[in-house]
Structure 1
Amino acid sequence: MEIRIEGFDLPGRHCGAGPDFPGYRNIHVAVQRRDRRDELLDPYPGDAPAAVWTVECEPVPTDSGIELKGPYIQGRAGSRFIYLSWGTVDETGNFTMLRRAKLMLDAIDPGAVTAAVRSGRLLARLPLTDAKGWPLCARVQPPLIEWSAS
């Protein structure tokens, strides 16, 4: 099965400083591989019109429902998530992480997961800018993120 993440409303490549945000230049976002903080899937610049990632996963039946596992799925059983890592990219192409968003898989409606197992695809749609105009971070759950089978 695959998970397709569609991000829109990116914050821009440069974000100004705020009271608890130092401001950054040349911001990018990518999906982070499990247990490999520096291994990123398809980085997009912060001023891209949209960002789309597709990750493979394995649905595993458990006593409490369907658990999703895969190389880009983080966390323990019952609290799985996908990291979107925000960082700056320097002139040599090095990515330095500045914040992350956790797309919480345990917050998905179980019916949507069951339907996605049948269809082969789970779709996530979310804005990538927070209320302050900065890169989205912290725990991301519905209604901010929309999950559906496709």
Structure 2
Amino acid sequence: MRIRIDAVDLPGRTCPAPADAAFPVYRDIHVAVQRRDRPAELLDPQPGDARSATWTLPCTATLSPAGTDVQGPYVQDRLGRRFVYLSWGTVDESGVFTMFRRAKLMLDAVPAQVLADAAREGLLVGHLGLSDAHGNPLCARVEPPHITWTAGPAQPVGRNRHMRVPGATSA
């Protein structure tokens, strides 16, 4: 199975930092999918002013009497809750990505029938906007109605670009 994340309404390349931050504005914002347990390994970083962004993630779906369990290199597992991290960060002149915010796309909030259909058909699609109510990068837990999950037939996958960020830091 694959998970495809289709994102629209990106917030732009700048946003104000929190009032207690040392810098007044985050600049050259990018967003990417974070690999499980490897915050410096990012999948296909996209600029914050892109018209849209799409990521396709490999995963496995195991059916059991308790439901459908999803695992994979980009599926996080904290306290038994599965989710995908979208990491927001700035990219400096030397290309170093510094994370300042993350969004958790909660897989346990996918309707059970949609997840079962996706496991059978081969594709789970999450469609969401990436700007919050103030026009800043979306963060925190993302569940319906802020994301719409559908199932579909598996399709050939294009190549995602991976980025290892030497010296990457997280805020």
TM-score category of the 2 structures, normalised to the smaller one: over 0.9
Which among 90, 93, 99 is matched to residue 91 of structure 1?
A: 93
Structure 2 counterpart of 1:64, one-letter code? A
In 1: Cα distance, 2:63 partner to 2:120 partner: 13
> Residue 31 of structure 1 aligns with which residue?
33
TM-score, normalised on structure 1?
Answer: 0.95
1:10 equivalent in structure 2: 10
Select between 42-51 and 71-80 the one with higher mean Cα deviation: 71-80
Distance (whole Å) between structure 1 residues aligned to residue 80 and residue 38 of structure 2: 21
Contact 1:67–1:78 (CA under 8 A) maintained in structure 2: no
Is the contact between residue 67 and residue 77 of structure 1 (CA under 8 Å) also seen in structure 2?
no
More strand by share: 2
Q: CA deviation at 1:60?
A: 1.4
Q: C-alpha separation between the residues in 2 aligned to 1:59 and 1:38?
A: 26
2:138 partner letter: L
- 2:158 corresponds to: none
Deviation at 1:4, TM superposition (A): 0.4
- Counterpart of 1:79 in structure 2 is 81
Would the aligned equivalents of 1:6 and 1:52 in 2 still touch at CA under 8 Å? yes
Counterparts of 1:63 and 1:102 in 2: how far apart (Å)? 26
Match of 2:103 in 1: 101
- The structural deviation recorded for 1:105 is 0.2
Call closer, same or farther: CA 1:108–1:3 in 2, change over 3 Å: same
Instruction: State the SS of the aligned residue for 1:115.
Output: helix
CA distance in 2, matches of 1:62, 1:72: 21
| Deviation digits for residues 16-36 of structure 1 (CA, Å, limit 9, x no counterpart) | 345467430000000000000
Rounded to whole Å, the distance in 1 between the matches of 2:151 and 2:120 is 9
Confirm whether residue 42 of structure 1 aligns to residue 33 of structure 2: no
Instruction: Provide the rounded CA distance (Å) in 2 between the counterparts of 1:13 and 1:132.
Output: 15
1:53 to 52, 55, 59: 55
* Runs (5+) with no aligned partner, structure 1: none
Q: 1:29 & 1:43 partners in 2: Cα distance? A: 5
Contact 1:31 1:40 in 2 (8 A): yes
C-alpha separation in 1, matches of 2:125 and 2:66: 22
For 1:65, which of 61, 64, 67 is the aligned residue?
Answer: 67
TM-fit CA distance, 1:82 = 0.2
Aligned counterparts of 1:120 and 1:68: Cα–Cα separation in 2? 12
Q: Which residue of 2 aligns with 1:115?
A: 117
What's the RMSD between the two structures over aligned residues? Answer: 1.5
TM-score by length of 2: 0.83
